Structure 1
Amino acid sequence: MHPVIAEVTRRLVERSADTRGAYLARIRAAGQTGPARGDLGCANLAHGFAAAEPDEKRALRGRVKPNLAIVTSYNDMLSAHQPYADYPPVLKRAAARAGGLAQVAGGVPAMCDGITQGRAGMQLSLYSRDVIAMSAAIALSHDMFDGALMLGVCDKIVPGLLIGALSFGHLPTVFVPAGPMASGLPNGEKAKVRQLYAEGKVGREELLEAESASYHSRGTCTFYGTANSNQLLMEVLGLHLPGSSFVNPGTPMRDALTRAAAERAVGITRQGGEPTPVGEVVDEKAIVNACVALLASGGSTNHTMHLVAIARAAGVQLTWDDLSDLSAVVPSLCRIYPNGSADVNHFHAAGGIGFLVHTLLRHGLLHDDVLTIMGRGLHHYTREPVLRGDHLTWEEGPKASLDLDVLRPADDPFAPDGGLKVLTGPLGTAVIKTSAVKPEHRVVTAPALVFDDQEGFLTAFGEGRLDGRDLVAVIRYQGPAANGMPELHKLTPALGVLQDRGQRVAIVTDGRMSGASGKVPAAIHVTPEASVGGPLSRVRDGDLITVDGVRGLLDIDVELRHREPTGRAPEGPEWAGTGRELFAAFRATVGPADLGASIFPVHPAPAAPSEVSVAQLA
């Protein structure tokens, strides 16, 4: 095991001893009661199977057959979730063949950042993760179930489903993906059209045509944003079937994997003989594995919040410093858009997650000794599914990349580090994703231009006020407590135009940008955020700011303590409409980005040991 991976894991176990111990005690106590429906009163149980078919009713009256809860994010507006329309009957039949039962326990909302981008609805997006967690918990709360099947793909849906599942951590849980759409317009061409549109060189019709050619059918968007990062992480956490994340919808393999997910979920219940509670699967080593896979693949920066929130739901006290120290030694092995030109279908064809896990295990960068839905050992995830007629089996996956421009071994990486860094300084703490930023752009010192929203910046760009000058765009009052931390995708094309003209540009924001930060250095998720009195509220135009993605510095040349804050987050009637007024309580209670930006109570982690920098152990 690489010494830094081992040390981060050791300190994570030590830091989490109390909270993880309390969590395990709780879920193990819950698991001692046997089939939950056996403790229900007669009227309760009768309600639970009133709509079932006669054979199912007879089985549900007994205690022998395990009953699986299907929790689904199906809707037919979103391409990633539309395939789930047909899953419940397929899962029910497969569970029955395996000796179990299944019921649709409930649905969870699924919204799309791509649709709400730049709209008021985006201000509900991050909050939706915790709504989904609560919705999943409500679905499981009927005590009818011995295991769960979670159907979800996109940005907040999978983290929310997992947080909800971990609140019922005694239940074995299998996540069931739907797969990415087939490849459409190459991502590089799409990005070029977006930038031309930002410059006014093409019109809306050309832009819409390009977007439609990119997002064109059922399945997940094919770029490597949060949705596809979710899929990779669920596999490396051991909650997907091996090799199932990036199989396209509507194919024989996708159908076979869906059936196999239900069969495996039956097998890992107590009655199935291999009890595998989800709360036991998601432990400190599994969380470290997820962090390593995220970094090696160049995954979404949204997971600097989601992984922290997921870990804390399992009693594990993950911090940004852990991620930063891991990033210093985990090599960058993937070039998937926006970190390259390939999409997830190309990545899958090049060897995909199976090869990625193989090379990371081989070089001591992942823990093999972890519990998964396939049994103990992450080595199960070096295998890939093979369909021979109607028979699905798993065979060893490739031991060499089939396309070195997309996927590389750990001893021949694209870069020696994971491209994620924590920035600290008088402006607060932030994260920066440098994997798509050229080395010559990773350090920027320039005067600040301060905006209280994305629209102010875009107006200034459109009026030419940003031309011919170096600048650090400070976009503030965009944090979780201000307005729900909307993604600021629309900044990237404009900033890219300025950078391509030779200007030195960067962005500093308490908002989020996911993979959209792209080639422009972006210090994001700044905490404490402006709306709670953070330093960004005191920055003024002309202050000299340094964004240093090499040394990990977020600096300013003036003393801010004695300044009065300027600007503000939206208030009263401004925070109304599009359902936003319903989430006022979320704004008042949400935690900071570095603790997962969650409304759920958290137990602050003790200070990390300071006697030695972990990175020095590399």
Structure 2
Amino acid sequence: MQPVILKVTNRIIERSRATRQGYLARMYALRDQDPHRGTLSCGNLAHGFAACQPGDKDALKLMNRANVAIVSAYNDMLSAHQPYHRFPDIIREAAHGMGSVAQFAGGTPAMCDGVTQGQPGMELSLFSRDTIAMSTAVALSHNMFDAITLLGICDKIVPGLLIGALSFGHLPTILIPAGPMPSGLPNKEKQRVRQLYAEGKIGRDELLEAESASYHSPGTCTFYGTANSNQMLVEFMGLHLPGAAFIHPDTPLRDALTRSATEQVIRLSRPQGGKLGLADMVDEKAIVNALVALLVTGGSTNHTIHWIAIARAAGILIDWNDYAELSSAVPSLTRIYPNGQEDINAFHEAGGTPFLIQELLNAGYLHEDVQTVMGPGLDQYTRMPALGGEGLEWQAASRDSLRPDVLSSVARPFAPDGGLKVLEGNLGRGVIKVSAVAPEHHCVEAPAVVFDDQNELKAAFEAGDLDRDCVVVVRFQGPKANGMPELHKLTPYLGVLQDRGFRVGLVTDGRMSGASGKVPAAIHVYPEALEGGPLARVQNGDVIRIDADGSQLSVQLDDATLASRVCAKKDLAGQHQGYGRELFGWMRRDAGNPEQGASVFWGHEG
């Protein structure tokens, strides 16, 4: 093992000792009651299978048959989740083939950040994760189940499903992906059209045509944002079938993987003699493997929040220093948009997760000795699924990348580190991802232009007020202020300014999404402005320094001057009402800071 990987892992184990032991004790106590269906009264059980077919009722009366919970984030508006409408029938059929039963336990909400970018609904996005966790717990609360299938892909959805399922960590659990859509309009062309629109050189019709050619069919969006980062990290944790993440939806191979995943989770169940649950698989080593996957691929910055919350749900305590130290030691091995021009389909065709896991295992960057849904050992994930004459079969990963421009080797990395940095200084603490930022832009020092609302930036851009070197500050965007929306809407404007030759950067207590790209952006900054953080004291013209290589985020003011300034105030009432936002006031009040996972569950700890 690489020394830094071991060092960070051991530090996490020691830091988490008490919370992890407490979590496992709760899970083992629940396991001792298995099967929970056997503890139900006759009335309870009758309610639980009243709508079942006679054969399923007979099976559920027996305690040696598994009942598989289906928890799904299906809806037919999200392209990534629309394919899930077929999955429950496939899962039920596979369960019947194993002499078991599958019941649709519950659905969870699933919103699309692509639809809500720059809209009021985006202010519900972060909190939808904890809402999904709670709805997953409600779905599983009936104690009817011996195993869990989780159907989800996108941004807050996979983290929410995992957080909820970890409360039932005594049960074996498998995540079943649906796969990406085929490649559409090339990403470089999409980016060009967006910037032309931002400059007013083309109209809405041309922009909509380009966007529709990019996002054009069922399946996950093909750029490497939060949704595809979810799939990458989950596979590295051994919670998918090997190589399952990026197989296209509605294909025979995808259906075969769904059937096989159902059969495998049944084999892991207590009625089939299984002894391990999700709690045993999501341990400190699995979490470190997920972080390595994030860093080696330049994945979504959202996971500097979400994976902290997932780990905490399993009693594991991680922080941004862990990310930064791992990032310093982990090479960059992929070039997937926005960190390159090719998409997730090109990555999969180049060798995908099996090749990447093989490379990292051989070089000592991953823990092999973990429990997975396939059994002990991550080496099982160096295989790619395929359909053969007898159905699903597994083929060894390619020894060499089939697209070295998209997926490289440890011997020939694209960069020596993972490109994620923690920034700290008199403006607070935040993160920056530089895997898509040119080295000459890693450090920006320029006068501040301060906005209290993201919509103000467009008007300033169109008026020409930003045609200069500047660090744009967008504040009052933290979890307690307005739910910490993604500010991806700002990307084309900032990109145009940089292309015009200006030195430009962004500092915000909001998020910048998994699609953050070539402009240096200090994000997730806390203490947030609403709580009197230093960003609330910044004024137009103050010189701000973003230094990714030096891990610095500062304003060129002495401590006394900065402290003497009155904090800016913003009337947020308009962002707390309408579009359902009034229902989430308690979440805004109780949310922890980003380095705590911005969660309402652990917002008052530590």
Same fold at TM > 0.5: yes
Question: SS state of the match for residue 115, structure 2?
Answer: helix
CA contact (8 A) 2:152 2:177 kept: yes
Q: Deviations over 1:334-369 (max 9, x none)?
A: 000000011000000000000110101111100000
Task: Report the Cα offset of residue 458 of structure 1.
Answer: 1.3
Q: Deviations over 1:461-505 (max 9, x none)?
A: 0111111x1100000000111100111011111011111111000
CA contact (8 A) 2:590 2:604 kept: no
Aligned match of 2:404: 404
Aligned match of 1:302: 302
Q: Deviations over 1:221-271 (max 9, x none)?
A: 000000000011111111100010000011111010011110011011112
Question: SS state of the match for residue 473, structure 1?
Answer: strand
Question: SS state of the match for residue 448, structure 1?
Answer: strand
For residues 525 and 510 of structure 2, what CA distance do their matches in structure 1 show?
Answer: 7
Aligned match of 2:567: 565
1:568 is aligned with what amino acid? K
Question: SS state of the match for residue 516, structure 1?
Answer: coil
Question: SS state of the match for residue 104, structure 2?
Answer: strand
Question: SS state of the match for residue 69, structure 1?
Answer: strand
The structure-2 alpha-carbon separation of the partners of 1:575 and 1:517, relative to structure 1 and needing over 3 Å to count, comes to same
CA contact (8 A) 1:246 1:345 kept: yes
Question: SS state of the match for residue 392, structure 2?
Answer: strand
The structure-2 alpha-carbon separation of the partners of 1:14 and 1:373, relative to structure 1 and needing over 3 Å to count, comes to same
Task: Report the Cα offset of residue 533 of structure 1.
Answer: 1.1
CA contact (8 A) 1:174 1:261 kept: yes
Aligned match of 1:510: 509
For residues 361 and 532 of structure 2, what CA distance do their matches in structure 1 show?
Answer: 44
1:564 is aligned with what amino acid? V
Q: Which runs of 5+ in 2 are unaligned?
A: none
Question: SS state of the match for residue 488, structure 2?
Answer: coil
Task: Report the Cα offset of residue 574 of structure 1.
Answer: 4.2
2:473 is aligned with what amino acid? V
CA contact (8 A) 1:422 1:431 kept: yes
CA contact (8 A) 2:2 2:365 kept: yes
**Worse-matched range after superposition: 12-21 or 574-583:** 574-583
CA contact (8 A) 1:452 1:567 kept: no
The 5 Å alignment of 1:9-20 reads 9-20=9-20
Aligned match of 1:101: 101
For residues 80 and 413 of structure 2, what CA distance do their matches in structure 1 show?
Answer: 31
The structure-2 alpha-carbon separation of the partners of 1:401 and 1:132, relative to structure 1 and needing over 3 Å to count, comes to same
The structure-2 alpha-carbon separation of the partners of 1:446 and 1:89, relative to structure 1 and needing over 3 Å to count, comes to same
2:84 is aligned with what amino acid? Y
Task: Report the Cα offset of residue 569 of structure 1.
Answer: 5.4
For residues 390 and 86 of structure 2, what CA distance do their matches in structure 1 show?
Answer: 19
For residues 52 and 487 of structure 2, what CA distance do their matches in structure 1 show?
Answer: 46
Aligned match of 2:542: 543
Aligned match of 2:434: 434
For residues 341 and 274 of structure 1, what CA distance do their matches in structure 2 show?
Answer: 44
Task: Report the Cα offset of residue 602 of structure 1.
Answer: 5.5
Q: Aligned pair 1:484/2:486, yes or no?
A: no
For residues 263 and 143 of structure 1, what CA distance do their matches in structure 2 show?
Answer: 21
CA contact (8 A) 2:482 2:575 kept: no
Task: Report the Cα offset of residue 159 of structure 1.
Answer: 0.3
The structure-2 alpha-carbon separation of the partners of 1:540 and 1:603, relative to structure 1 and needing over 3 Å to count, comes to closer
The 5 Å alignment of 1:403-482 reads 403-467=403-467, 469-482=468-481
Aligned match of 1:597: 598
Question: SS state of the match for residue 103, structure 1?
Answer: strand
1:562 is aligned with what amino acid? S
For residues 482 and 167 of structure 1, what CA distance do their matches in structure 2 show?
Answer: 29
Name the count of aligned residue pairs: 603
The structure-2 alpha-carbon separation of the partners of 1:82 and 1:526, relative to structure 1 and needing over 3 Å to count, comes to same
Q: Aligned pair 1:580/2:576, yes or no?
A: no
Q: Deviations over 1:548-582 (max 9, x none)?
A: 011110011113212110132512x5411100000
Aligned match of 1:527: 526
Aligned match of 2:30: 30
For residues 188 and 302 of structure 1, what CA distance do their matches in structure 2 show?
Answer: 23
Aligned match of 1:139: 139
TM-score w.r.t. the length of structure 1 is: 0.97
Q: Deviations over 1:164-207 (max 9, x none)?
A: 00011101000000000011101111011001100111111110
CA contact (8 A) 1:81 1:178 kept: yes
CA contact (8 A) 1:531 1:569 kept: no
2:395 is aligned with what amino acid? E
CA contact (8 A) 2:575 2:581 kept: no
Q: Deviations over 1:4-42 (max 9, x none)?
A: 000000000000000000000110110011211100001
Aligned match of 2:319: 319
**Worse-matched range after superposition: 393-402 or 587-596:** 393-402
Aligned match of 1:127: 127
1:570 is aligned with what amino acid? L
Question: SS state of the match for residue 243, structure 1?
Answer: coil
For residues 475 and 387 of structure 1, what CA distance do their matches in structure 2 show?
Answer: 50
Question: SS state of the match for residue 149, structure 2?
Answer: strand
Q: Deviations over 1:416-460 (max 9, x none)?
A: 000100000010111000000000011000011110011111110
Task: Report the Cα offset of residue 275 of structure 1.
Answer: 2.9
Q: Which aligned runs of 4 or more in structure 1 are off by greater than 3 angstroms?
A: 602-605
TM-score w.r.t. the length of structure 2 is: 0.98
For residues 44 and 487 of structure 1, what CA distance do their matches in structure 2 show?
Answer: 44
Q: Deviations over 1:34-80 (max 9, x none)?
A: 21110000100000000000000011111010111000011111110
1:33 is aligned with what amino acid? Q
For residues 305 and 601 of structure 1, what CA distance do their matches in structure 2 show?
Answer: 13
The structure-2 alpha-carbon separation of the partners of 1:546 and 1:275, relative to structure 1 and needing over 3 Å to count, comes to same
Question: SS state of the match for residue 148, structure 1?
Answer: strand
Question: SS state of the match for residue 68, structure 1?
Answer: strand
Question: SS state of the match for residue 174, structure 2?
Answer: strand
Q: Which runs of 5+ in 1 are unaligned?
A: 606-618
CA contact (8 A) 1:297 1:335 kept: yes
Q: What RMSD over aligned residues (CA atoms) do the two structures have, in Å? A: 1.0
Aligned match of 1:343: 343
2:348 is aligned with what amino acid? H
Question: SS state of the match for residue 385, structure 2?
Answer: strand
Q: Deviations over 1:63-121 (max 9, x none)?
A: 01011100001111111000000110110110111232110000000000000111100
**Worse-matched range after superposition: 450-459 or 11-20:** 450-459
CA contact (8 A) 1:513 1:524 kept: yes
1:243 is aligned with what amino acid? G
For residues 89 and 564 of structure 1, what CA distance do their matches in structure 2 show?
Answer: 60
